[in-house]
Amino acid sequence: MITSAVNLAHADMSLAKHKVVVQSSSSDPELQGLALVIAGNLQKHYGMDNVDIEVVAYGPGLGILTVDSPNAKKVKNLLEHNIKFSACEGTLKFMEANNGKRPKLVSGVGVVEDGVVRVIELQEQGYAYVYPR
């Protein structure tokens, strides 16, 4: 939960001209990959200092943030370029209950109490909403 508080504090103090939240809630590998491409392209377009980007993953889309994901290296690379990633605690608990173990997340991925709530909170802070379909 500490990471969640840090993410919220950072979002509130953002000086970036643009703020974007990208939702990942699909198990479709193409859509998960598209979410990452969009995040990277937005940062390239606006520049690292001019845009805050957070990818929020929940439900079937949370798999994108696990170390076993085919996209794990891309997530790590984007994290190194100051793109934030948040995993839904509710989904993690659900996955743990169903699979007997908690999925291991890519190092640097934050955890928020509820992914949908996080998306709403970011929108209330002026973040543009992107949902790849």
Domains and CATH numbers, the chain: 2-130 (3.40.1260.10)
What pLDDT is recorded for position 16? 76
Q: Is residue 9's pLDDT more than 90?
A: no
Average pLDDT rounded to a whole number, residues 124-128: 98
- What is the rounded CA–CA span in Å between residue 78 and residue 83? 5
Which 3 state secondary structure label does DSSP give 60? helix
What pLDDT is recorded for position 6? 42
User: 131 pLDDT band (50/70/90 cuts)?
Assistant: very high
What is the per-residue pLDDT across 73-125, written as a single tens digit (0 to 9) for each?
999 999 999 999 999 999 999 999 999 999 999 999 999 999 999 999 999 99
Judge residue 38's burial from the number of C-beta atoms within 10 Å of its C-beta, 0-12 exposed, 13-18 middle, 19 or more buried.
middle
SS (H, E, C) 69-129: CCCHHHHHHHHHCCCEEEEEHHHHHHHHHHHCCCCCECCCCEEECCHHHHHHHHHHCCCEE
- What is the rounded CA–CA span in Å between residue 123 and residue 118? 9
Q: What count of other Cβ atoms lies within 10 Å of the Cβ of residue 79? A: 17
Q: Flag whether the pTM goes above 0.75.
A: yes
- What is the rounded CA–CA span in Å between residue 113 and residue 62? 13
